[in-house]
Amino acid sequence: MKRGPLFYAKILLFGEYGIIKDSKGLAIPYNSYKGAFKIANVLEGKQLSSNQNLVKYFHYLKQLDSDLVSFDLDQLELDLENGMYFESSIPQGYGVGSSGAIVAAIYDQYAEDKTTVLENLTKEKLLKLKTVFGLMESFFHGTSSGLDPLNSYLSLPILIQSKDDVESVGIPYQQNGKGAVFLLDSKMIGETEPMVNLFMDKMKNEGFRKMIREEFVIYTDACVDNFLHGDAKSLFGNVKKLSKVVLENFKPMIPKQFHSLWKKGIDTNAYYLKLCGSGGGGYILGFAADFETAKMALSDHDLELVYRF
């Protein structure tokens, strides 16, 4: 095996934290970053580090006791001994699914009786896959929804209706308009596990739970519906509300130096920022009704275009 198939990054457009508490969510593949298995005769640097991490992952899979999935562990062990590593351009700790791509690649290569992309993907099959991927990805984050690997494996937009209801969906074709979804590089690495732990701690507070129920989930669900129906005007209105709620209630997940920039977007309507994944660093997701205006307002920062309205 000189090189395995490619697995892409993902962007969770809507649903960060909310999907833990049954809001809707929408994840799309992001083809600018990708990874694949390779084999090298001599491992050094990043290749060696990747191989060593995969060996740790192999031991995790070895003790994974589940009726839902089994792996050809002998072949995996042999490939690792022969110098297999995961070559990836997906930045780690950036909220775009670096571990999800590894999990998808392992499942694709080594899972026995696997569900393939070519099958009729019923909701039951998707839910089973998501559960399997959640078990597999827990090695990296402590707990995992399984959504990142699912998105990477299928390379399709995934709509989460609730924890027990996922489906692949079509999203509106990109337009050549002024509006855009973009990524802003915080130049910092974020760690998922401490951020999720912080969120779960906050959820012990009744006031925080009420805000999640009555504001965060409602605006998130509205954003998903607006996006899927191509209703850009309503979308920007709801993204603004969501951005405001996040700034007021998720401050620890937003790097301090971005608090004023976040508020500036809401105050000027030049752009609206939201968390990309768990936050704490990595990418910040941006929405703008006029991307050129947003670029000027954010001229000190590196932006990457994701989607055009």
What does pLDDT average to over the chain?
Answer: 93
Cα distance between residue 121 and residue 115, in whole Å: 9
Name residues whose C-beta falls within 8 Å of residue 273's C-beta, 6 or more positions apart in sequence: 184, 243, 258, 261, 262, 265, 284, 285, 286, 287
Q: Do residue 95 and residue 188 come from a single domain?
A: no
CATH of the domain at 192: 3.30.70.890
Question: Would residue 115 be called left, alpha or beta, if left means φ above 0 and alpha means ψ between -120 and 50 degrees?
Answer: beta
Q: Do residue 142 and residue 250 come from a single domain?
A: no
Q: Do residue 31 and residue 145 come from a single domain?
A: yes
Q: Domain for residue 208, yes or no? A: yes
Contact present, 169 and 158 (Cβ < 8 Å): yes
Q: Do residue 217 and residue 184 come from a single domain?
A: yes
pTM, entire model: 0.90
Q: Do residue 132 and residue 186 come from a single domain?
A: no
Q: Domain for residue 254, yes or no? A: yes
Within its chain, how far is the Cα of 241 from the centroid?
A: 22
Q: Do residue 162 and residue 199 come from a single domain?
A: no
Q: Sorting pLDDT into bands at 50, 70 and 90, what band is 142?
A: confident
Q: Domain for residue 173, yes or no? A: no
Domain interval for residue 37: 7-168
CATH of the domain at 23: 3.30.230.10
Our count of domains for the chain comes to: 2
Q: Do residue 210 and residue 268 come from a single domain?
A: yes
Q: Sorting pLDDT into bands at 50, 70 and 90, what band is 3?
A: low
Q: Domain for residue 1, yes or no? A: no
Give yes or no for residue 1 having a pLDDT over 80. no
Tell me the pLDDT tens digit for each residue of 68-96. 999 999 999 999 999 999 999 999 888 89
